[in-house]
Amino acid sequence: MPDRILIVDDDPEMVTLLARGLERRGYQTVAAASVEAALACLDEDDVTVVLTDLNLGGRSGLDLTQRLVANRPGLPVIVLTGFGNLDAAIGAIRAGAFDFLAKPVDLDVVSVALERAVRHRHLTDELVRLRRQVATAARDPELLGGSDAMRAVHDLIARVAPTDASVLVTGESGTGKELVARAIHRQSRRADGPLVAINCAAVPDNLLESELFGHVKGAFTDARGTRAGLFVQASGGTLFLDEIGEMSMALQAKLLRVLQERLVRPLGGDHEVAVDVRIITATNRDLERAIEAQRFREDLYYRINVVHLPLPPLRARGGDVLTLAHRFITTTAERFAKSVTGLTPAAAERLVAYDWPGNVRELGNAIERAVALTRFDAITVDDLPERIRAYTPAALVVAAADPSELTTLEEIERRYILHVLAATGGSRTQASAILGLDRKTLYRRLKAYGVSDD
């Protein structure tokens, strides 16, 4: 996208001159005639550099500069003035201006100053991103990865963590959903409070209600004493509900009430207890599909899905496979007291080519096995599990010189739909959007292909 320049000047002719000259040089421009209008514009528009006149009829461009330096420190401000004296220049620089130019303006001079300011802005943004990534990696070494997909995950974690917004983490099994929950908790204002986690699929429904809300003595046969539930135990911290899609409809209704009222009534109790918890949930299910099938409450879905954080499958993370593999090699070799330091090129090639249906969990398992079995300092192809050694990527042939290799349009469509479904981790919602099909049509096609709802 072209860089956007905000021109702040109360002289319409000057604004027109600057805008036309800068647009010819490849910039986009937006204009404001006062400090107030400029601030309002910045609230609505993302600009790269501000180019402001010093005298704005009652308010000074220095006032605007000081406001922006205080509230938007990464935004460069270039000040223009018809009074090109030393005092004005010193005042502009002291106010925090990036540069100072005297009128009458020379568009070539302005262009050079803007190139420097734009370069400074991009470098500043990149440094902020890198500092955030380094800080995140230091706090959350488990969430390694420099791929675009993982940078987006780290960025969303950094933005949502300081708030108390409920987060729904989705992704295939083994992608690290609980690690994300722990990362959000560690970076939140609740970091000193408890993080309490439970897998809703691992606890029978009648016991899950007691686990979440607690019970009083005698509430049921085995209730020999009063026990605080996980909501109370997590008060002041974070409650992570994994596999939320496996919860029964009856329990979903009770959970919804707790999330709305922030009050918990223990089983068999007469009084409600106030709780202060942040809720993070996770699932590998398509909850929108579950809502359509009446297996998940729509009102609960919108309560837990204030911020949606989708985790990419490992096959979509490119070189992260090798980054994670080397991390697993280091930690596993230390545990096993073996001097294994890396991978042979051929083994690395097999790891990158493999599809990783079990995601990061499967990669960790494969590396642990390889470290245990290898007789060398580097893991070889022979040390890898058979499924990885023998794996051949599926290919969709749509053109070939030999007519015998060609297939029907129906078969190509079938393969492509299944390929998109696999690439989205089984998400019917994402797949239908990519394919340009409505969900019902996609479901009919999948049913015809023998693909189950699960």
Per-residue model confidence (pLDDT) at position 246: 93
Higher-confidence residue of 91 and 29: namely 29
Core vs surface per residue 95-115: b (16+ CB within 10 A) or e:
bbbbbbbbeebeeeebbebbe
Residue 449, pLDDT > 80, answer no
Report pLDDT digits (tens) over 120-142: 888 877 766 655 555 555 445 55
Per-residue model confidence (pLDDT) at position 366: 96
Residue 87, pLDDT > 80, answer no
**Angle 437-441-442 from CA coordinates, rounded to 5°:** 70
Report pLDDT digits (tens) over 392-411: 765 555 554 445 445 667 77
Which pLDDT band, with edges at 50, 70 and 90, does 200 fall under?
Answer: very high
Residue 447, pLDDT > 90, answer no
Mean pLDDT of 274-280: 93
pTM beyond 0.85, yes or no = no
Report pLDDT digits (tens) over 293-349: 999 999 999 999 999 999 999 988 887 888 889 889 989 999 999 999 888 888 888
Per-residue model confidence (pLDDT) at position 290: 92
Report pLDDT digits (tens) over 150-165: 888 989 999 999 999 9
